Structure formats: C-alpha cells, structure tokens
Amino acid sequence: MSAPQVGAPAPALELPDLDGERVSLADLRGQPVLVSFLRHAG
Amino acid sequence: MKVLYHRQRISEAGATALFVVHDEPELVRRTMLAGLELPFPVLVDLDRTAYAAWGMTRASSLRIWGDPRVWLRYLNTVLHGQRPTRFGADTLQLGGDFVVAADGTIAYARPQRTDDRPPVAELLRALGET
C-alpha cells in the first residue's frame, strides 16, 4: 500500500497507547493532527 | 526525533499529535521518552499493521547504513558525551510524517525514503496552515 496523498482522506488509525488504552485518529477530528510514524525507538 | 521537543509549539498551533512506534513500550519509555514528558499519545503498532496501511516501507541495509548522515548523527551523539541509544527491533523500518487536517484529509505527507526527517519548522508550518 502506498502512502496517502495530500487531499486524500486519512487512513484509519486506531492503536493502543503505551498503557494499553485504545486511541483513534477519528476521535481527534476537528483539529489538525500531526501523525508521525517513527523509524525506531532508539 | 526533534519534533518531540516542540510539543508546546504544536499545541500553540491549535493542533495535536500522535506518535506511532513499532517497538515494545518498555523500550520506548527507556530510550525515546527518557527524561521527556510528552503530552501526546504514543501508539504501539507491534505488528506494523498501521505502518503498512499508511504506506510505510522498509529500506535496504545499504540505504540506511550507507547514508553518511546516519553515521554523522551517531558521531555527533558520541562527541557530545552521550551514549547512542539502543536500536529498536527493526533498523530498516522507515517512518513518515503526515498532517491530517480538521476535516480528516491529508494536508501534508512526507514518507521517509531513507533515514531523514523534514525540518521541524516545515511540520509546524503545515500544522499552522491547515
């Protein structure tokens, strides 16, 4: 799958946080969101 | 990642952030978040389902370890008296930065092609322009 292009709907994103609580991008609708996928933790 | 240190400017832009990692939470806390209080969620994607859905690919060893910027960064870390942190599970996984506008569309997209990141100012500008 290729990365989403500017203007396209953002793909769904729902994952657990570090404490195991589910967080969804959809719940943040209404404000700009920086979504940053990190290469590795180090 | 430098943008982690600009959390106040992200908030001042009326925005928020989600950081996604593919390493174990314990390692993330001990390395990336050591000494850092981050007010934004760090999401854990161990099987990299979201990485794949957002088009995050893996690089070749040559592309990562043949990049002099990678070595310069580690040299700079050592020269400043710091110990390089332990790597995560997959050093070849690439990441990327996106700004999702208030209406849910992509306003900025910068998937990594090698071990690079956009300037923080560019990300903040993208957040402020949405």
pLDDT in tens, B39-56: 899 999 999 999 999 999
Q: What is the pTM of this model?
A: 0.83
Residue B86, pLDDT above cutoff 90:
no
Asked whether B108 and B121 are in contact (CB, 8 A), the reply is no
Interface test mutation site (partner A, options B3, B51, B100, max chain A beta carbons within 10 A): B100
Token pair recorded at residue A2: 């290729």
Who among A15, A30, A31 is closest to B44 (CB)? A15
Residue with tokens 């943008």: B3
Interface check A27 vs B, CB under 8 A: no
Distance CA B73, CA A18 (A): 27
| pLDDT one-digit tens code per residue, B55-81 | 999 887 787 777 787 777 777 777 877
CA–CA distance, B21 with B11 (Å, rounded to integer): 21
Of B3, B21, B104, the CB nearest to A9: B104
Give the residue, B68 or B101, on which the prediction is more confident: B101
Interface residue B41 vs chain A (CB under 8 A): yes
pLDDT at B51: 96
Distance CA A25, CA B8 (A): 20
Could you tell me if B45 lies within 8 Å of chain A, comparing CB atoms? yes
Say yes or no: ipTM exceeds 0.90: yes
CB contact under 8 A, B88 and A23: no
Beta strand pairing call for B16-21 and B42-44: parallel
- Sequence-distant (6+) residues with CB within 8 A of B5 are B36
Residue A34 to residue B8: CA distance in whole angstroms: 13
User: In chain B, which residues have their Cβ closer than 8 Å to the Cβ of A40?
Assistant: 21-23, 87-91, 93
